[in-house]
Structure 1
Amino acid sequence: MSTDDALNLSDIDPPVWRVRVSGADYGPYTLGQMKTFVHEHRVSANSLVAEGETAPFLPAADHSPLRAMFETAGKSQEDAVAEPTNYLIIAKLAGTGQMQLIGALNRLGRFAEVMPGVWALRSKARQARVRDRLQATITSGDQVMIANATTGRLAWLNLGPEADVHIRRIWDAELDETA
């Protein structure tokens, strides 16, 4: 197959979606990437999203291509009590938000600061809820990583698109046998 015959995926799924987080715009992303973000709970029904360069930012659930994902998720699954889960929270706080973050951790379950900026949390809350609660306490200059020590899933806030690419590239990467 020559390069002239190669399938251009951007014709099928163009990167037109943008996401606004704490006043910063990220993207453009494809619809496939947006669906992954929804599945990973990195984009919620209330996240501000625009479809197109000049389109207004609206809640993600107001966009018909994404709406069905939120409708099928169902409240019962989100509100269901999960088994206790262990999390490792790593935060680099630029401002004075440590007390707000500690307050959120206290409402989520039992926690301990194991070293400056690192907390162990045991909670029945799902990782998406932990992320949402912590996001409500931080500013755009703060950075947070949430490692689910029980399942190995990772979430983060305000690390930026470059860090996002690097994390995704290595987190579940295959390793050769010599490593």
Structure 2
Amino acid sequence: MSYEQYSTSAQWNVEPPLWLPHYGARFFTAVRRYWRKYATFSGRASRSEYWWSVLFTGLVGLVIDGVDEIVRLSMRNSGMGGFDDPSDLGAALAWIWAAIIFIPTISILVRRLHDINMSGWMIFIGLFPLIGAIVLLVFTLMRPNPAGRRFDNVPSNATLL
């Protein structure tokens, strides 16, 4: 099987190697690849890999917010007062989660930009208020561009069966 066939097909019985994007990835596969490629800024990420990881990180963030709210309500209802200090448990968990996902979130966005054949440096468009976030959102929704293969780091010992 050729590299082109392997890297563009969405129907596979096995997961492609980490150096290739996984088109049509399912939730748990995408999350696993998100963590395994923690600080990998080279290569590409498919739309499914990107959006499943966004959903995962968002859901964990919502769970952290929910735990924080439950703790606040239980403390308020028990007469112990509320946790209104910014250093409370929920805020601490949220900051820890943000620190944990900071690098992999940037790296998967860079790989997603590579998949549409854009430089990873385009991530800095996001620094422009509002318009930058909208542009990045549009970029992440775009279809893959075959010319993005130029960002793949094909290992010298890679064999495709």
Per the normalisation by structure 1, the TM-score is 0.21
Q: Which structure's residues are more often helix, by fraction?
A: 2
Q: Which structure's residues are more often strand, by fraction?
A: 1
Per the normalisation by structure 2, the TM-score is 0.22
Larger Rg: 2
